[in-house]
Structure 1
Amino acid sequence: MTETIVVKCGGNAAVNAEAVCADVARLSERGRRLVLVHGGSADIEQLASRLGVESRTLTAPDGISTRHTDSSMLEVVQLALAGLAKPRLVSLLNRRGTRAVGLTGLDGGLLRARRKSALRAIVAGRPTIVRDNHTGKITSVDTGLVEGLLDGGCLPVISPPAVAEDGHPVNTDADRAAAAVAGALKASVLVLLTGAPGVLADPSDDSSALDVCEVPASGPPPHRGGGMGLKLIAAREALQEGCDRVVIADGRVPSPVEAALAGRGTDVAVAGSGAGSGAWEVAG
């Protein structure tokens, strides 16, 4: 079977989407099978501001933060990802001769998720149960749909949201969506591109990037600053689900994907085996 590379283009404004797409297109022209997964944090923040929707962050007891997705923010997320970020990436790829096909997790039930009934968070210094949050954890990926596009010479461009059990959309972290896709496809490598040269020992010092970051088989990862907590959880999930290699690398440099594949970034390794972190979920 031909090896598949999954690339996650970070939504951080610092990530050079044009360089990412140029690199993905070049690799595709050389016969590599690639899937591009994307977020859109910068687009989401800008659109939320324009529409007057408050943007809030939830911080779990273990210190890992994520977006608070109430019903208004869920609408913003869908508009920003499907209406702004995705068309931009698909257009960049198509202009380079790549047959890019844009999909959200809703299309064909591509990404299915279990809705999180409640989240534990620290609000105003106190542990709180948050229930007005439309998020979910991905439980399955329709690999047949993705493989069909790849076999047809297309390059899938995938983003949240996902489909919950009730058929309604739920937001899900784009890094974890990329991890779910990479794990389900048994990808040879998942490249998580971000606005840093890798996992930093000191989040304020780009020169402190680690060559290798080992994460425990469960529980909080060792580095959580600079938004790395969820990326490392995603990396662990991908590796535990069958992806061979995960690299967290710089999305600001020329040829960012090829640089990551060549070793410029942080390779993630899992100590032992076991389930991923459940820090965000409340049972039931």
Structure 2
Amino acid sequence: MSAVFNFTFVPWFRSVAPYIHKFRNQTFVLGVCGEAIAAGKLQALAQDIALVQSMGVRIVLVHGFRPQVNEQLRAKGHEARYSHGMRITDEVALDCAQEAAGQLRYEIEAAFSMGLPNTPMAGATVRVISGNFLTARPVGIVDGVDFQHSGLVRKVDAGGIKRTLDMGALVLLSPFGFSPTGEAFNLTMEEVATSVAIALKADKLVFVTEISGIRLRPGEPEGDDNPVDTELPLEAAEALLRQSPAPQQPSDTAFYLQHCVKACKAGVERSHIVPFAVDGSLLLEFYVHDGIGTMVVDEKLENLREATADDVGGILQLIEPFERDGTLVKRSRTEIESDIGNYTIIEHDGVIFGCAAFHPHPEAHTAEMAALTVSPLSQGQGDGEKLLKRIEQRARSQGFDSIFVLTTRTMHWFLKRGFEPVPPEWLPQARLRKYNWDRKSQVLVKKLA
């Protein structure tokens, strides 16, 4: 086995492990658009979903069937009709929807029943269970348009779904619901997935879609100059919806976003829009820090807070590579444990991605910011500035006039943020006695207005 593989695999696995631990026993509702299946992505999706489930995630899978129903309609010489972004389901369309749902359910169950040969899940058994978990009601007549057999979710049998998940099965739902009198209604995958996620109080709602996510500048061309907004706070998502016209097709900004917002407002912590065109997009979204699609969250996931004793291990793991290359002075576990109350951290999903220490020198009306560290996985996203601002706040709250840092390699970063160089003799006497003249660290000071 090559040394290069070892060098890349071990750090990668260590970075993924916290997410595996965090997601165990959580419930994810996945809404997969019919276009993904039509594009031949079912086998790859089944492998990845099975892999996620094998790591302890409870999964409800809702499939769409928009292109499959349209194909059935064309075969019968019947035109697909839409209004208000929903299908108008007449008798012929209802028959086509039932045929398409039956065929897709068969294909999905088969994909999970193959033993997944030549994959990481080879030989695994994935039990797929479907059922009449949804009660529906008709859409009715909207703005003079009779939607006939198109329906909306009236009730979700959350207890039945939870009991099925407790058995270790994957729950598969088609976008169909039935009235108490047995009448069938064609539903949308998006509404079913959202309603189920809310009813289950799911940890994630994930749409696997034909779009790559929400762009930083919606309405402008896709590309490197207009990247996907990987984390969209709920407040910003709601503002974007207010600015967007009523969605008519999946490529419209509000089409999936409206359901993400609805779920988050109803208590689903995170909602995602993930592209099916990228191989392994679900794994990238779940187990990589920044993901690949857009995640709507009720509040920013980065939690800036003061450290506790439970954070010592995470801080050590974060700063160790920088100590090894000489960027930081080495600190022992005992030093950090005794000084833990002075540390501020940034964590993401329970993983520490940044830290800084605050060392007051009240006799000189100043404080040192030490061990400022940001993980390479999140550099360039403003975490360093957030930590700096928190240290400044702590210094101001104690009436200090300035803060200072000692650095050998990041002088320009601090200069850009208002620090000025001073000779080591400027340091408070207690700190000057500990100054390492061999290391020749630059001393930089920032005045606090």
Counterpart in 2 of 1:180?
Answer: 195
3-state DSSP of counterpart to 1:8: strand
Matches within 5 A, 1:1-284: 2-12=25-35, 13-14=38-39, 16-58=41-83, 60=84, 65-81=85-101, 83-95=102-114, 96=116, 97-103=124-130, 107-108=131-132, 110-120=133-143, 129-200=144-215, 201-202=218-219, 204-207=221-224, 208=226, 209-213=228-232, 214-216=236-238, 222=244, 224=247, 226-261=251-286, 262=288, 263-269=291-297
Amino acid at match of 1:99: V
3-state DSSP of counterpart to 1:156: strand
| Deviation of 1:248 (Å) | 0.3
| Deviation of 1:203 (Å) | 6.8
Number of residue pairs aligned between Structure 1 and Structure 2: 253
3-state DSSP of counterpart to 2:254: helix
Amino acid at match of 1:265: G
Cα distance change, pair 189–180 in 1 and its aligned pair in 2 (3 A): same
Q: Distance in 1 between matches of 2:204 and 2:223?
A: 24
| Deviation of 1:49 (Å) | 1.2
Cα distance change, pair 193–203 in 1 and its aligned pair in 2 (3 A): farther
- Rg (Cα) greater in structure: 2
| Deviation of 1:152 (Å) | 1.1
Q: Distance in 1 between matches of 2:60 and 2:140?
A: 31
| Deviation of 1:132 (Å) | 4.5
8 Å Cα contact 2:270/2:298 also seen in 1: no
3-state DSSP of counterpart to 1:216: helix
Q: Over residues 62-111 of structure 1, what are the superposed CA-to-partner deviations in whole Å (9 max), with x where a residue is unaligned? A: xxx22221121111111101x221211111112233434253xxx43x11
The normalised TM-score by structure 1 is 0.80
Q: Distance in 1 between matches of 2:262 and 2:78?
A: 32
Cα distance change, pair 170–218 in 1 and its aligned pair in 2 (3 A): farther
Higher RCO, 1 or 2 (CA under 8 Å, sep at least 6)? 1
3-state DSSP of counterpart to 1:137: strand
For structure 2, the 5+ residue unaligned runs are 1-23, 117-123, 300-449
8 Å Cα contact 1:21/1:92 also seen in 2: yes
| Deviation of 1:170 (Å) | 1.1
3-state DSSP of counterpart to 1:198: coil
Cα distance change, pair 227–250 in 1 and its aligned pair in 2 (3 A): same
| Deviation of 1:134 (Å) | 1.5
Q: Distance in 2 between matches of 1:159 and 1:203?
A: 34
3-state DSSP of counterpart to 2:237: strand
For structure 1, the 5+ residue unaligned runs are 121-128, 272-284
Choose 215-224 or 189-198, whichever is displaced more: 215-224
Q: Which structure features the higher share of helix residues?
A: 2
| Deviation of 1:204 (Å) | 4.9
Q: Over residues 1-47 of structure 1, what are the superposed CA-to-partner deviations in whole Å (9 max), with x where a residue is unaligned? A: 93111111111134722221111011112222111111012211211
The normalised TM-score by structure 2 is 0.52
8 Å Cα contact 1:189/1:245 also seen in 2: yes
Cα root mean square deviation, aligned: 2.5
